[in-house]
Amino acid sequence: MPRLIAIEWIKLKSYRPFWILMILYFVVLGLVLSGVMLFFEYVASRGAEFNGLDPSMIPFYDFADIWQNMTYLATFLKIFLGFIVVISITNEYSYKTIRQHVIDGLTRWELLAGKLSIILVITIVNTLFVLVLGLILGLIYSPVQGLDVMFENAGFLLAYFLDVFAFLTFALLVGMLIKRTGFAIVLLALYTLFLEPIAALILSEVYSQYTFTQYFPIRAINNLISVPFGKYVFQEVQDYIAFSDIALVAVYVGLFIFLSFRLLKARDISG
Amino acid sequence: MTPILHIQNLHKRFGKVHAVNDLSLEVLPGQVFGILGPNGSGKTTTLGIILDVIKKKSGEYRWFGEPPSAESRKRIGAILETPVFYPYLSAVDNLKIVALIKGVDESRIEKVLETVDLHERKLDAFKTYSLGMKQRLAIASALLADPEVMILDEPTNGLDPQGIAEIRQLIIQIAEQGKTIILASHLLDEVQKVCSHFAVLKKGKLIYSGSVDEALTGTDTVEVAADDMNRLEEAVKQFTHTQSVRPEKQFLRVRLTDNRGSADLNQFLIEQGIVVSHLSQRTNSLEQQFLHILAADQSSATSGNHSFTDQKTTSHA
């Protein structure tokens, strides 16, 4: 496996667009995650309130709560990581290097494993970024401190890890299927942000007695971390990670990887 | 001797097009094997199949006597069509990737870059290279693992005359080190200059396979003229090594056998008391032979397989 990562590293380390997108992503993610309190205070200063609650009173960064709040918010930006993954695979098709890799002696599985290991590394770095930022913000804002509360509910970081990893394997599949960078990015964004949510909305209206839209891939991935904010206006929210949600997403990850592998196996490898 | 490459009854279809049609071939160690054919004759498709990037419909192939695998591909240095590299990476970084794939020590990179004379530009991005340099880097990449066999697909395509000469020189140099080379080309002259053996493909079918020398021997003709053409013709027909005589406008075209040349014919004619006024030997090129092969295939498409010698006599008789 280190050999495959080394190969991917050579490709990425001099690829400027990759670094620009990565840095942009982390800057935006950092700003969004750390700016929530400032945003709430701004909203409060304009006289807005949520169900009679002063927004600046919301304990967004309080330990224990912080992990679900942060990771929930962070998942909205994962689509940009998806674009990076799409580019990294469609480039191989447009440069025809994927074909040359096979000619040179990589197996189909090694091709896929190389990309999966890069996805894994990106996901780990991304999760660590949220972890470190969460610790810093918690130390700044949280009224309760101490090791015992700091990592309470830190399981949401693992859910976040799985969330992003699953989405990126989906992006990889889309990239392999479409092969062309522009089309693949548009399709990924369109499906993730519009097609599936709208289809789910319509279908759940039409077949309101069923809950099958819960099993759509993007929905399933997004369901890992539930919307946490309701609890601040005394609604009931799911403030834990359900095992069934994890199992479903794990099945999807397996399916995405399997389909990607089938694609590589079944098709002629061309540019 | 275990063949380097053995292809048996290979088929590939792209929709209605039968891109590779019942192809069987064998390449032995040390051969410089040319695969010759017009564009669209199935050369690249065949190479794509034996390199495992194009799915075959049926048939079999073996490398080094073994069923094909990623491990056997590591022992092959190959480029299909155009040189394929990351445009933004330098020659060194591009070759590092190949070295990692093939499990080769990075120290080889310097060596192969010197072999192809790209040493000075090794840290520049691939996209800044001229076509000739790209082609040379592709050869360097194919050489990286010091492979037993190299596959080159149209290696001089699009190059200027100097670039073509450089690449051919490089191929000959590599062949002299005893490597087996498989070279696909639509340029006959290239195959003639570089290859020891060749196969001709047409619409996916193998229509000829043999050694270049074999294909060219016995194809020389001698043009001869004298004041008395009738007497000359009679005399020439009596020469024991004459295969065929064909009168042309100014001279007789004589095909000789048994490796006899114009000197032998002249000697004989002098003994017969005939003084020739014109004598010249014409060496046929593979190009003419190739056109004969294609023409023969066309005219006798129904008669099934025919050997090279078959059509040689028919086209000249």
Q: What is the pLDDT of residues B49-66, one digit of tens each?
A: 999 999 999 999 999 999
Contacts of A7 (CB under 8 A, 6+ apart): A114, B97, B100, B101
| Per-residue pLDDT reduced to its tens digit, A56-85 | 888 889 888 899 999 999 999 999 999 999
pLDDT for the residue numbered A256: 98
Q: For residue B102, what are its two tokens? A: 């093939």
**Chain A residue set in contact with B, beta carbons under 8 Å:** 3, 6-7, 10-11, 14-16, 95-97, 99-107, 110, 266-270
Q: For residue B287, what are its two tokens? A: 């190009």
Measured CA to CA, the distance from residue B219 to residue B284 in angstroms comes to 6
Q: How many residues does chain B have?
A: 317
B56 touches chain A (CB under 8 A): no
Segment (H or E) for A104? helix A97-104
Look over chain B and give the mean of its residue pLDDT values, rounded to a whole number: 86
Mutate to test the interface with B, among A103, A106, A111, A270 (most CBs of B within 10 A): A103
Contacts of A151 (CB under 8 A, 6+ apart): none
ipTM of the complex model: 0.91
- Nearest-CA distance from B22 to chain A in Å? 20
Nearest to B140 by CA among B130, B152, B128: B152
Query: By the 8 A CB rule, do B78 and B49 touch?
Result: no
**Residue B32, Cβ density class (10 Å: 0-12 exposed, 13-18 middle, ≥19 buried):** buried
Measured CA to CA, the distance from residue B298 to residue B291 in angstroms comes to 10
Higher confidence at residue A83 or residue A237?
A83
- Nearest-CA distance from A257 to chain B in Å? 20
Cα B166 from chain centre: 17
| Per-residue pLDDT reduced to its tens digit, A95-109 | 999 999 999 999 999
pLDDT for the residue numbered B313: 33
- Nearest-CA distance from B89 to chain A in Å? 7
| Per-residue pLDDT reduced to its tens digit, A211-227 | 888 899 999 999 999 88
Pairwise CB contact (< 8 Å): B85 & A101: no
Measured CA to CA, the distance from residue A153 to residue A99 in angstroms comes to 45
Query: By the 8 A CB rule, do B163 and B171 touch?
Result: no
Measured CA to CA, the distance from residue B196 to residue B204 in angstroms comes to 22
pLDDT for the residue numbered B248: 81
SS3 B297: helix
SS3 B187: coil
Longest dimension (CA), chain A: 66
B13 touches chain A (CB under 8 A): no
Query: By the 8 A CB rule, do A215 and A131 touch?
Result: no
How many other C-beta atoms lie within 10 A of the C-beta of residue B116? 22
Measured CA to CA, the distance from residue B313 to residue B140 in angstroms comes to 44
- Nearest-CA distance from B100 to chain A in Å? 7
Q: Which among A11, A105, A110 has CB closest to B86?
A: A11
Q: Which among B53, B79, B89 has CB closest to A269?
A: B53
Q: For residue B30, what are its two tokens? A: 């040390």
SS3 B186: coil
Higher confidence at residue A120 or residue B269?
A120
Token pair 């993730």 in the structure block, residue: A192
Interface of B with A in 78-137 (CB under 8 A): 78-80, 82, 84-90, 93, 96-98, 100-102
Q: For residue A165, what are its two tokens? A: 């990893």
Pairwise CB contact (< 8 Å): A104 & B88: no
Higher confidence at residue A102 or residue B261?
A102
With contacts defined as CB-CB under 8 Å, which chain A residues touch B96?
10
With contacts defined as CB-CB under 8 Å, which chain A residues touch B89?
10-11, 14
Measured CA to CA, the distance from residue A270 to residue B16 in angstroms comes to 19
Q: Which among B54, B89, B102 has CB closest to A104?
A: B102
Query: By the 8 A CB rule, do A225 and A75 touch?
Result: yes
- Nearest-CA distance from B23 to chain A in Å? 19
Phi, psi of A265 (to 5 degrees): -70, -45
Q: Which among A16, A103, A267 has CB closest to B80?
A: A103
If you average pLDDT over each of A227-231, B268-272, B284-288, which comes out highest? B268-272
Look over chain A and give the mean of its residue pLDDT values, rounded to a whole number: 92
Of the listed ranges A42-51, A161-170, B101-110, B111-120, the one predicted with least confidence: A42-51
Nearest to A120 by CA among A178, A68, A81: A81
Nearest CA in chain B to A88: B86
Nearest CA in chain A to B98: A104
Kindly give the pairing relationship between strand B221-226 and strand B76-79: unpaired
Segment (H or E) for A207? none
Q: How many residues does chain A have?
A: 271
Q: Which residues of B129-164 are buried (b: 16+ CB within 10 A; e: fewer)?
A: beebbbbbbbbbbbbbbebbbbbbbbbbeebeeebb
With contacts defined as CB-CB under 8 Å, which chain B residues touch A266?
55
pLDDT for the residue numbered B303: 42
Q: Which residues of A183-218 are buried (b: 16+ CB within 10 A; e: fewer)?
A: ebbebbbebbeeebbeebeeebeeeeeeeebeebbb
pLDDT at B312 over 70: no
Segment (H or E) for B305? none
Pairwise CB contact (< 8 Å): B53 & A101: no
**Concatenated DSSP letters of A107-156:** -HHHHHHHHHHHHHHHHHHHHHHHHHHHHHHHHHH-SS-SHHHHTTTTHH
Nearest to A7 by CA among B239, B101, B117: B101
Contacts of B235 (CB under 8 A, 6+ apart): B268, B269, B272, B274
| Per-residue pLDDT reduced to its tens digit, B198-252 | 999 988 999 888 888 777 765 677 889 998 888 888 888 888 888 778 888 888 8
Nearest to B104 by CA among B154, B51, B76, B145: B145
- Nearest-CA distance from B292 to chain A in Å? 35
How many other C-beta atoms lie within 10 A of the C-beta of residue A27? 10
Measured CA to CA, the distance from residue A261 to residue A263 in angstroms comes to 5
Measured CA to CA, the distance from residue B310 to residue B36 in angstroms comes to 20
Nearest to B76 by CA among A247, A59, A100, A32: A100
